[in-house]
Amino acid sequence: MTVKLSIIYYSSTGTVDAMARRAAQTGEKLGAEVRLRHVAETAPQEAIEEQDDWAKHREEMEGEPVAEPEDLAWADVVLLGTPTRFGSSASQLQAFIDTLGPLWQEGGLADKVYAGFTATQTEHGGQESTLISLCTAFMHWGGIIVAPGYTDEVKFADGNPYGAGKVTGETTDLEEPDLDAIDHLVTRALHVAERLAG
Ligand SMILES: Cc1cc2nc3c(=O)[nH]c(=O)nc-3n(C[C@H](O)[C@H](O)[C@H](O)COP(=O)(O)O)c2cc1C
């Protein structure tokens, strides 16, 4: 069986984008069919232009495929990624989630494997609350939440049993514990989906 993996995410300045790309690479290496989709930007252009990093990343994303509800309908495994915004997910990702009502109503979000990833600037900056907020949506959808827990020793390095999380404090570059945590999350989610398909 080829597992279908959709990675749906928002990123202002590229950190979550790098995490999403790593997740996609790992998924492909493991033989999954992968869709990597960023959600549409909803912030006013003036706000984006005031911040060089944000404007630069928007330019880099020109022409990249934008998430549609069908990308969830298609998938066996869905990973949602978002920067942390005051302890919760970014409004851009939430705006996309808010378009999923019709798909939810027809049962198109249920029985899939779900997991989340995030980035914060600070170590205690709200990764858990952000990831739990994603889980709230997964529960409404009848999703099968795959928590990484501490099911591998790499999780003792990133210390996040709720999902994968990058702290950008020292550097926005993904470091070994970040990469390991993403790889572990993708691997675990794909294996659970394979076992469910039986
Ligand atoms: C409006 C706003 C709110 C933020 N809130 C938090 C927060 O609650 N905790 C934190 O540690 N970082 C916070 N940050 C920092 C971002 O979460 C962090 O820089 C993230 O890694 C950026 O990801 P990106 O590069 O994918 O956009 C906030 C940033 C912005 C712009």
Q: What is the pLDDT of residue 156?
A: 95
Query: How far is Cα 141 from Cα 20, in angstroms, rounded to an integer?
Result: 22
- Residue 198, pLDDT score: 81
Instruction: Answer whether 152's CB lies under 8 Å from 197's CB.
Output: no
Beta-ladder partners of 117: 81, 164
Question: Can you tell me which atom of ligand 1 is nearest the CA of 84?
Answer: 17
Residues of the chain under the 50 pLDDT cut? none
Which residue type does 83 have?
A: P
DSSP state for residue 12 in the 8-state scheme: S
- Decide whether any atom of ligand 1 lies within 6 Å of the 85 Cβ: yes
Burial of 157 (0-12, 13-18, 19+ CB in 10 A): middle
Tell me if 165 CB under 6 Å of ligand 1.
no
* pLDDT per position as a tens digit, 67-115: 999 999 999 999 999 999 999 999 999 999 999 999 999 999 999 999 9
User: For residue 34, what pLDDT is reported?
Assistant: 98
